[in-house]
Amino acid sequence: MRIYQTNEVRNISLLGGSGAGKTTLVEAMLYESGAIKRKGTIDGKNTVSDYFPVEQEYGYSVFPTVINAEWANKKLNIIDCPGSDDFIGGAITSLAITDQSVILINAQYGVEVGTQNHFRYAEKWKKPVIFAVNQLDREMADFDKTLEQLKESFGGKVTVIQYPVNAGANFNAVIDVLKMKMYKWKPEGGQPEELEIPESEQAKAEELHAALIEAAAENDETLMEKFFDAGTLSQDELFDGIHKGIVSCGMYPVLNLCSGRSMGVRRLMEFLGNVAPAVIEMPNPVTTQGIEVKPEIGGQTSIFVFKTSIEPHIGEVFYFKVMSGKIHEGDDLTNVSRKGNKERISQLFAVAGQTRTKVEEVVAGDIGAMVKLKDVRTGNTLNVKDCEWIYPEINYPAPKYRRAIKAANESEDEKLGEILNRMHAEDPTWIIERSKELRQTILSGQGEFHLRTLKWRVENNDKIMIEYSEPRIPYRETITKSARSDYRHKKQSGGAGQFGEVHMIIEPYIEDVPAKEVYKFGSQEYKISVRDQQEINLDWGGKLVFINSIVGGAIDARFLPAILKGVMQRMEQGPLTGSYARDVRVIVYDGKMHPVDSNEISFMLAGRNAFSQAFKEAGPKLLEPIYDLDVLVPSDRMGDVMSDLQGRRGMVLGMNSERGFEHLKAKVPLKEVSSYSTSLSSLSGGRASFSMKFNAYELCPSDVQDKLIKEYEAQKKEEE
């Protein structure tokens, strides 16, 4: 493969919902470009992009796959992204480092929730969008309806470049209103016959051609003036206007495909090479230091590692984009993301799925792969010596499906931990948390299928059987009123004994509300004089305020840290359910010491037990984590989804229509959404999606609290 210069490189994200035909399109593009001699099929499990065993097992793309195709002296770097919302991380990774996106649409189903999600992320990353309507040879294909949905969803920027003459089982021709020609294919597809537009289609083609000219003129003031003066544009001016419209995200062109029969594939590649933007025409990346980096071959060498793959017989394969300069085999680079570790680049490859072609050099804007590095991770920046640029790591959506995970054989837990860390490197949306609080390893991801995929890989590739279970919920305990207690710890067993007595008041901590000067319990008043105050921000959220109000030396100051330690022990394992406690003010106002037997352990135990007694008398309540849900659902399934949320103790906050779908916002307890992704898919026929984000802790309903307390007490009795 020859070395392509920056202006000859096109980086493209291939997006679309499950079943849109992305993997089949990649096969057709590689075949038409001469990169492969025979097209593989998903059923045959021999495609270039879906080459991992788990992808072949399920018949779905799981990882974003980098391929390249050479076409008309251009290098098209195409990243084939998974369509399922469970694997949205692959699309986000791809959009972060490519310059444009092709969103594939199944002509049978039109705009789906996957289309909406991918467009939303492309819009967020400010990446141009080209729509390609695929599978026009299917019996139920309906281009006109799909186009209507595109315009309804994405507005007037949707612009027809091609339309099919005969969508359906007999599909074999399209009208190209940019070139004003008809392209017709033989049954085997490939190179089309270029014909004049039939008289029966002439009026429609001219109408769409005029609309295309007007849309192109809108993207440049000079072209607009020419259009007003002459009423039309030359072919070169038309190309220029479309090009500027794509670059500025002011136009979303629509092309036609039947990728399974290689119809329209060559025209799509020609369009990407000649009309779509080059690397140098897109906004430059900005480092974490706020420095704008231009993709110049003569600049300082700097690369960003956007993906890691672990493959049999090879090990780690690192995929990178050259942000500036150029990289050669044998170069020494500094990993500025990992304490300046030095890395020697031993081998460089151009990539087409699992096929890697050695290259001597990769230049600014291009994408490649490398192996045999010492200490590199996804998201790392590697630079030439004395270059300190660091690129921001890619942000991914919050997880929305959680399971506790463990090895079926406990002796393999440590090995499983290593495997999970490796899995996270390959897919950063797999999140592993070893929770001290819950005493579980929690695996979080984007959905049930996402976690089922990981299970399949561990059990089939690594031969470790694993078990999933419902994760415990990280409840919190707090109090709702003031309470007082005193506790004496006394132990005498010959020799030095133990003695410590602590009197304390506890009350709910509320921001900006100070402790009172007088507390009344029954008929007795307790005056408080704040001698010292510690405000502790708890690792699990909320605060503990610890006040020393001891007068007359009843407890020596050196024992107060021990009392605080005892209180903290109880905060880490609350009296109600063993959950973390939060938002409590503790006032130690009195106590007693013994001149010989008092020591730190005595006051720690006295403080812990005094706090536990007071907590139980202070109107203790459980708090549960509440999450914000954003649900995107087809209108005809809205009622079912709302009913389901109400059954999950959800509170609907609002709803609005968004691009042909209903956008629903709600607050739901975490306990009720552990399997929501599965239920939502069932309710909507797989046509809905959602995201979730932690909001706050709120009081549990009394019936839920009573049930949890009983379960905890029963568990404690079993352990005893």
Q: Residue 435 falls within a domain, yes or no? A: yes
As beta bridge partners, residue 310 has 316
- From 122, 95, 86, 78, select the one nearest 427 (Cα to Cα): 86
Residues 566, 457 share a domain: no
Q: How far apart are CA 167 and CA 21, in angstroms?
A: 17
Are 445 and 587 members of one domain?
no
More confident residue, 232 or 296: 296
Cβ-based neighbours of 152, under 8 Å, separated by 6 or more? 111, 659, 660
* CATH number, domain with residue 439: 3.30.70.870
Question: What phi, psi does 477 have (nearest 5°)?
Answer: -115, 145
pLDDT at 569: 94
Q: What is the mean pLDDT of residues 592-601?
A: 92
- Structural domain includes residue 105: yes
653-664 tens-digit pLDDT? 999 887 778 899
Residue carrying the six token digits 């929770």: 435
407 and 419 housed in the same domain: yes
- At 570, list the tokens: 């109880």
Q: Cβ atoms within 10 A of the Cβ of 618, count?
A: 21
| Closest alpha carbon to 628 in 678, 699, 691, 671 | 691
Number of domains making up the chain: 5
Q: What confidence score (pLDDT) does residue 653 get?
A: 93
The domain boundary, picked from 445, 472, 499, lies at 472
In contact, 624 and 670? CB cutoff 8 Å: yes
- Do the beta carbons of residue 228 and residue 104 sit within 8 Å? no
* Co-location of 610 and 497 in the same domain: yes
Indicate whether 228 belongs to any domain.
no
In the chain, what percentage of residues exceed pLDDT 90? 81
What integer pLDDT is reported at residue 717 of this predicted model? Answer: 82
The single residue listed with the structure tokens 């289609």 is 201
- 162 and 18 inside one domain: yes
Same domain, 467 and 488: no
Count Cβ atoms below 10 Å from residue 244 Cβ, excluding itself. Answer: 18
Least reliable range by pLDDT among 132-141, 198-207, 449-458, 492-501: 492-501
In the sheet with 162-164, reading across from the earlier edge strand, the strands are: 162-164, 173-176, 181-184, 193-195
Residue 505 and residue 540 share a domain: yes
384: left (phi over 0), alpha (psi -120 to 50) or beta: beta
Is the model more confident about 233 or about 524?
Answer: 524
- What's the pLDDT at 231? 81
Contacts of 169-177 with C-beta under 8 Å, sequence gap 24+, read 169/137, 169/138, 169/139, 171/136, 171/137, 171/141, 171/258, 171/263, 172/263, 174/256, 174/264, 175/201, 175/204, 175/205, 175/208, 176/267, 177/205, 177/208, 177/209, 177/212
Question: Is pLDDT at 414 greater than 80 in this prediction?
Answer: yes
Residue 230: predicted pLDDT = 80
Question: What is the sign, positive or negative, of the torsion defined by CA atoms of 346, 350, 356, 358?
Answer: negative
In this structure, is residue 219 part of a structural domain? no
pLDDT in tens, 104-146: 999 999 999 889 999 999 999 999 999 999 999 999 999 999 9
Calculate the alpha carbon distances from 627 to 120, 226, 441, 542 in Å.
Answer: 22, 54, 21, 17
276 & 341 share domain: no
Domain with 351 in it: what CATH number?
2.40.30.10
Q: For position 690, which CATH number holds?
A: 3.30.70.240
Residues 606 and 654 in one domain: no
Q: Are residues 344 and 449 in the same domain?
A: no
Segment 277-286 shows an average pLDDT of 93
Q: Over the stretch 63-89, which tens digit does the pLDDT of each residue have? A: 999 999 999 999 999 999 999 999 999
204 in any annotated domain: no
Distances (CA, A) of 104 to 62, 178, 661: 17, 20, 19
The reported pLDDT for the residue numbered 720 is 64
State phi, psi for 213 to the nearest 5 degrees.
-60, -45
Report residue 222's pLDDT band, with 50, 70 and 90 as the boundaries.
confident
Please state the rounded mean pLDDT for residues 135-158.
95
Specify whether 464 is located in the same domain as 493.
Answer: no
User: In this structure, is residue 145 part of a structural domain?
Assistant: yes
Average pLDDT of the segment spanning 557-575? 94
Residue 494: per-residue pLDDT: 67
Which pTM does this prediction carry?
Answer: 0.87
Q: Say yes or no: 264 and 319 in one domain.
A: no
Closest CA to 674 of 476, 458, 465, 451: 451
pLDDT averaged over the chain?
Answer: 93
pLDDT value of position 314: 82
3-class SS of residue 162: strand
Q: Say which CATH number the domain at 60 has.
A: 3.40.50.300
Res 484: pLDDT:
97
Where among 619, 641, 676 does a domain terminate? 619
Q: Find out whether 600 and 563 touch, Cβ atoms under 8 Å.
A: no
486 domain-assigned = yes
Q: How far apart are the first and last CA of the chain?
A: 70
Q: Which residues contact 682 (CB under 8 A, 6 or more apart)?
A: none
Structural domain containing residue 571: 480-619
Residue 348 has pLDDT above 90, yes or no: yes
Residue 213 inside a domain? The answer is: no
Q: Identify the band that residue 221 occupies on the pLDDT scale cut at 50, 70 and 90.
A: confident
Q: What is the mean pLDDT of residues 26-37?
A: 94
